[in-house]
Amino acid sequence: MKSILLTCLLMLQSDFLLAVQSIEGFPSIPFGTRFSEVKQQIATVNFTNISAEQQEGFNLVHANQAGDEGNSSLIFVVNQKTDKLGLIIQRFDDLLTDRVIIKNFTKHYGEPMDETATKLIYEQIKADLPEGLQRITVWADHSSDAKVAVSRFIRVLYFGSYVSVEYLDTGIM
């Protein structure tokens, strides 16, 4: 998975749309947060059914949350080598469309990446995705310095029966 993300980084160029607001992680828990702090912050926010486990070099914290878009399940992924939060996966089982999420993210982060860039990302990650993906929408956040590669993304994955949102910092993962 790491090589796929690295390849994706190398293919992206600085001419893609810059985010209006930078992508800092999940709204209440920023990228780079240590595992112990992730668990502590989750306990103080409106999460339920909290559990933690270790899996293949990662510490995972599972939680459920009720929100405006409906109930969601979350996985906070902390890289064990760096002890930093680098990926948050949020799954909405009750959403039959991704339009509300896309509208909200566009308001905060600007327009998503264009179709060509999104196809490049999809080609790099498709082997790791569950079957049934119908649409992917991606926002990228990178420095205005043309020599700095993109490292933070939000990906909205629409599967027809559910929507998955991934907040990703490839520099940590």
Contact in structure between 140 and 19 (CB atoms under 8 Å) = yes
Residue 73's CB: how many other CB atoms inside 10 A? 16
Predicted confidence pLDDT, tens digits, the chain (173 residues): 444 433 333 333 333 344 357 888 887 899 999 999 999 999 888 889 999 999 999 999 999 998 777 789 999 999 999 999 999 999 999 888 999 999 999 998 889 999 999 999 999 999 999 999 999 999 998 544 444 567 899 999 999 999 999 999 999 98
DSSP 3-state assignment of 106? Answer: helix
